Amino acid sequence: MSLIRSSLLVGLGSVASRVLGFVRDVLFAQALGAGPVADAFLAAFRLPNLVRRIVGEGGLNPALIPALSRQEPEEAAAIAGDVLGIFGLALLALTGVVEIGAGLLAFILAPGLHDDGTLALVALYTRLSFPIVVCVTLASIGAALLNMRGRFAATALAPLVVNGGLILALVVIEAGFTLPLAERAAWLAAASSLAGLIQLCIVTAALLHDRPRLVSFRAPRWSPLMKNLLLAGFPALVASGAVQIFILAASQIASFWPSGVSWLYYAERVMQLPLGLMAALGASLLLPELARRYRAGELQAIAAAQNRALEAALLLSLPAGAALVILARPMSAVLFERGAFESADAEGTAMVLAALSLGLPFATVAKVLSQSLFACGSLRAALMAAIVGLVLTVVASVFLAFPLGPTGIALGVSIGCLGHAGAVAFGLHRFGLWQPDRALAVRVARTAAAVLAMSLGLLAAMRLTPQAGAASLAALCLGGLALYALAAFATGAVTRSDWASLTKNA
């Protein structure tokens, strides 16, 4: 499969999932608003959704792909079966622990939600939604195996089921039932677990259909390789989902502010659209390529590939971050301000979104550069970089929360993303796996010039545009995109040879 076809398939699947996620969150806001019940539901939904997004964006790939790619096909299939069996048993045991200890977990997730039974609601929604973790983790392992064979269709389309199922549940609840907010949230939590089971069934069908077999089931065998895979799984998940973990820590702090959890959740969902695309492309396409180059000893080729990937990532993330900062208020109003979601909630969400979007380029840089650490198996360095970012997030969020509230907490997340990117770059440089070249510096400078032109155009257009509705927001987005495209070609940030290079075979 050519690079353009595989990139488009993975990219379109990721974008479609994020678009459905947008629709889902718009309906969340309409159905639940941003009050105590919404805070309780979103605090409980945060942990399983965190796992779903980390593993769905290839969070286990850094542990699986380099190890399995070194094995013969038959042995790799047997090891894959062992991985699925052992992970399945471990996840079932973990789910049992969570079901029993949901009250304690609720306090950990949202220590500030302790009034009027809100913490009890967090525990209930956690029990109902946590089983999705088993399904999506096993589905992610299956997706990694399919990606190794170059089978991207099922892995790109299966994640759509979760958001699609929740949208269907929201539509049915809103149209056919008149339920209290707490009961609506309970049905949604249960629906998420059912949707995760359907996703697992789709990936399983693709695995069983593929020939030669990618998975060979037997009684799981404990081996040094299996031990290394399991030990690598945790740091791989933490390093791959660093930004989501930063947000989880920020949500715990935000729970002490009224509607803080909800504002942070809705804002982060908007910011995650471009970031999630970069994560999916990096884990599914860039990581396998870098792993092959590392096995061949092509260290200079790894550095060059990273630089070219950074150029492409910043070409997308820099304008996205700038546009989200500028359009935060109209975007928040158009997307969420309806039903139980009030104007004050839209204003608070917009301020949080603007603060979060400042960290988008840094989060994207860390996502791309981390792939080299994953490819060469340097998961400890990737884990330490994530810990640096987490510590910075917590310290900055606490320090800025008192004068700025949830907006300061969001700024703390952006500072954590900056520290994470810097730590990853330092680790790569220390291992001799990355060195920025002149071409990267020139391309980034040209991209920044194009982003500046787009930003000035958007600011001028907003001064001339009446109060933003859906039509005017769409016009601003499309106009900004067109202006950025023209500026990118004018400054040389994008050239005709870039389009030609996409058609080369992977």
Question: From the centroid of its chain, how far is CA 390?
Answer: 16
| pLDDT for residue 83 | 78
Report residue 181 as tokens.
Answer: 């907010």
| Main-chain phi, psi angles of 505, to 5 degrees | -70, 145
Separation CA 135–CA 88 (nearest Å): 9
Q: For residue 80, how far is the Cα from the chain centroid? A: 25
**CA–CA dist 484, 453 (Å, integer):** 7
In whole angstroms, give the CA distance from residue 368 to residue 361.
Answer: 11
Long-range contact pairs involving 451-455 (C-beta distance under 8 Å, separation at least 24): 451/318, 451/319, 451/322, 451/484, 451/487, 453/483, 453/484, 453/487, 453/491, 454/319, 454/322, 454/323, 454/480, 454/483, 454/484, 454/487, 455/322, 455/323, 455/326
Closest CA to 67 of 264, 227, 235, 244: 227
Q: Using CA of residue 373, residue 378, residue 382, residue 384, what is the dihedral sign?
A: negative
Tens place of pLDDT per residue across the chain (506 aa): 444 455 555 556 666 777 787 788 888 888 887 778 888 888 888 778 777 766 655 556 666 666 666 666 677 777 777 778 888 888 899 889 989 988 888 888 888 776 667 888 888 999 998 898 888 888 877 777 776 666 656 666 777 777 888 888 888 877 766 778 888 889 888 988 888 888 888 888 877 776 666 676 767 666 676 676 666 666 666 777 788 889 989 988 998 888 888 899 888 888 877 776 655 554 445 555 555 555 555 556 666 777 777 877 788 889 999 999 999 988 888 888 877 788 888 899 999 999 999 999 998 888 878 777 766 666 777 888 889 999 999 999 999 998 999 999 999 999 999 999 999 888 887 777 777 778 888 888 999 999 999 999 999 988 887 666 778 888 888 998 899 989 988 888 877 665 555 445 44
Structure tokens at 11: 């990219």
Rounded to two decimals, the pTM is 0.75
Report CA dihedral (374, 376, 379, 380) to the nearest 10 degrees. -150
User: What's the pLDDT score for residue 356?
Assistant: 93
CB 86 within 8 A of CB 230: yes
What was the pLDDT predicted at 503? 46
pLDDT value at residue 3? 45
- DSSP secondary-structure letter at 285? I
State the pLDDT at residue 60: 61
Partner residues linked to 2 by β-bridges: 505
| Residue 89 DSSP SS3 | helix
Q: Which two tokens stand for residue 481?
A: 């995109």
pLDDT at 462: 86
Pairwise CA distance, residues 78 & 203, whole Å: 18
Dihedral Cα 317, 318, 324, 325, nearest 10 deg: 150
Beta bridge pairs of residue 505 = 2
